[in-house]
């Protein structure tokens, strides 16, 4: 009799087939206050991290962009301005609640015509080969069950020469910063989650999922193994966040 495959959900080991549902429950719970919590958790610095991602994307007029785990649409909004009416932005997220919040928010901001919304699993992207000039995934890869499968899926739908940008929490570069970050993540973050969203457990999971995510060098090697070329990463805020970039050969 074969052993049941497990994966991590934060610090817990759960059956592989259960992880997506558990992650979905987390984001259904926090979707309505997601942006407010992002501002509170990062002191607004997440906006600078995202701006740097856009600068490194090389996206310009007429491009097709896929924003995976795009949630409430921060990056999609900026990309829709860059690609213009000739381009296309696909805001994709596996979570229906996050997608609904993102779609409504972008509609309220007047985005229309060059943006479509797609409920999609990063591991099995429902798009033809060689479709996009750029793919971004911001703070979403750590929630994917099979990251290698997702990276190969992203490579498939990128055009040759297209870029993938992965913005994700990573490993702080100094021991002192690492200790301070741990205290913040495991004590203050769940407390803020309880206060703002009445959900401490979801934010405890998010803190744990960050610790279980591959560090900078490991993720770079995963991208190379998936078939990406010219892979590099940029540490921000002392390595608390890293932006990885790779190109489809």
Q: What are the mean pLDDT values of the chain's consecutive 10-residue runs (249 residues total)?
A: 68 80 70 67 86 97 97 94 97 92 92 94 97 97 95 98 96 92 82 77 82 95 98 97 97
In terms of residue numbers, what domain contains 93?
A: 6-173+205-247
Residue 113 phi, psi dihedral angles, 5° rounding: 90, -55
CATH at residue 234? 3.40.50.150
Determine, yes or no, domain membership for 21.
Answer: yes
The total of structural domains in the chain comes to 1
Binding-site sequence positions for S-adenosyl-L-methionine: 72, 93, 121-122
Determine, yes or no, domain membership for 19.
Answer: yes
Determine, yes or no, domain membership for 195.
Answer: no
Determine, yes or no, domain membership for 192.
Answer: no
* pLDDT tens sequence across 89-125: 999 999 998 899 899 999 999 998 999 999 999 999 9
Determine, yes or no, domain membership for 134.
Answer: yes
Determine, yes or no, domain membership for 193.
Answer: no
Determine, yes or no, domain membership for 226.
Answer: yes
- What region, left, alpha or beta, does residue 138 occupy, with left being phi > 0 and alpha being psi -120 to 50 degrees? beta
Determine, yes or no, domain membership for 200.
Answer: no
Cβ pair 58, 163 in contact under 8 A: yes
Look at the alpha carbons of 205, 207, 210, 212 in this order and tell me if their dihedral is positive or negative.
Answer: negative
Residue among 141, 50, 130 nearest 93 (CA): 141
Q: Where are the beta strands (DSSP E) in 71-210?
A: 88-93, 115-119, 132-138, 158-169
Binding-site sequence positions: 72, 93, 121-122
């Amino acid at each position: 009799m074969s052993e049941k495959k497990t994966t991590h959900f934060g610090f817990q080991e759960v059956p592989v087939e259960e992880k997506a549902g558990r992650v979905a429950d987390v984001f259904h719970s926090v979707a309505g206050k997601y942006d407010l919590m992002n501002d509170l958790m990062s002191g607004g610095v997440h906006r600078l991290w995202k701006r740097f991602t856009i600068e490194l994307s090389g996206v310009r007029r007429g491009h097709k962009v896929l924003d995976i785990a795009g949630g409430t649409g921060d990056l999609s909004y900026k990309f829709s301005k860059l690609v213009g009416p000739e381009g296309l932005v696909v805001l994709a997220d596996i979570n229906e609640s996050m997608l609904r919040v993102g779609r409504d928010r972008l509609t309220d901001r007047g985005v229309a015509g060059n943006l479509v919304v797609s409920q999609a699993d990063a591991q099995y992207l429902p798009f033809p080969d060689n479709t996009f000039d750029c793919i971004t995934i911001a703070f979403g890869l750590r929630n994917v069950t099979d990251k290698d499968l997702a990276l190969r899926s992203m490579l498939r739908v990128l055009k040759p020469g297209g870029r993938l940008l992965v913005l994700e929490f990573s490993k702080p570069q100094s021991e002192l910063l690492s200790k301070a970050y741990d205290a913040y993540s495991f004590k203050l973050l769940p407390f803020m989650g309880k206060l703002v969203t009445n959900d401490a457990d979801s934010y405890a999971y998010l803190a744990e999922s960050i610790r279980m995510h591959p560090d900078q060098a490991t993720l770079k090697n995963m991208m190379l193994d998936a078939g990406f070329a010219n892979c590099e990463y940029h540490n921000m805020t002392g390595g608390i966040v890293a932006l990885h970039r790779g190109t489809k050969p």
